[in-house]
Amino acid sequence: MASHGPGEPLKLEITLHEMRGDVEKVQQVVSAALQERGYDADAMFWMPSDNVAEREREARVPLRQWIADGWIRTTPGVRLDHDQVAADLIAYGQTHKIRGVGADPWNLGSVATQLHRHGIEVSAVGQNVGRMTAPSKLLEGLIHEKRFRCPSPVLQWMAGNVCLYVDHAGNQKPDKGRSTEKTDGIVAAVCGLAIASTAEPEMSPDAWQIVEI
């Protein structure tokens, strides 16, 4: 796993969903010379603590064990604490140089406001198939070539819930299909790659990290 050095430039992608028991995620994709090494990913997820037992029964996955092992963070209550999400990002920005935040515009409000107050630029990233096609194909290729690596069992579980939506023009993006379970981590990975693949020309692939939330 690549290290995360203080002061290295970062781009962030944020997607927040306000649903009972929803698992929020941080998908961090660390740049590592794409043509040769691909990407090492470190995934973190958040969920409300009061919903853990019920969600574990519904999803039939070991959420409590994943929490104990540090793969999922919890916030008190039945709803995710977005203030804590923002606080964690702001704290992260104190040790890492954040170049900007790309965000799913749905339900982001308070987090974006707090980040702006701390000088972190937030820009919307659309979740439509046109925007997601190129990074979706990139992720698919990286996985087939074993150049996208992540040890998180939560992300691996979510990968098993994903179907690929393809329209008549061949555009594609991750989709739940008939699944009722979470796929957010895979969407997070695609959004992180969307940010990486459109980096400014003066930024070499080795010069930045990507954090997707």
pLDDT in tens, 93-128: 888 777 666 667 676 778 889 988 998 877 777 889
Give the pLDDT mean for 6-26: 51
- Residue for token digits 């929490």? 67
Task: State residue 97's pLDDT score.
Answer: 73
**Cα 160 vs. chain centroid, distance in angstroms?**
16
Distance CA 84, CA 170 (A): 39
- Concatenating the DSSP letter of every residue in 86-120 gives HHHHHHHHHHSEEEEEEE-STT-HHHHHHHHHTT-
Residue 43's closest CA among 189, 148, 204, 209? 189
Cα dihedral sign for 52, 54, 56, 59?
negative
pLDDT at 177: 84
pLDDT for residue 28 is more than 80: no
Where residue 177 falls (left for φ over 0; alpha for ψ -120 to 50; beta otherwise) is left
pTM of the model: 0.76
More confident of the two residues 166 and 180: 166
Sketch the domain layout of the chain as residue ranges. Answer: 22-203
Please state which CATH number belongs to domain 22-203.
3.30.420
Please determine, for residue 164, whether its predicted confidence score (pLDDT) is greater than 60. yes
Q: What is the pLDDT of residue 111?
A: 83
Q: What is the pLDDT of residue 12?
A: 57
| 92: amino acid identity, one letter | Y
* pLDDT at res. 158: 93
Please give the mean pLDDT across all residues of the chain.
77
10-14, 43-47, 68-72, 104-108: least confident range:
10-14
In the chain, % of residues over pLDDT 90: 31
Instruction: Please tell me what DSSP assigns to residue 21.
Output: T
Higher pLDDT, 22 or 161: 161
Which pLDDT score, from 0 to 100, does residue 20 have?
46
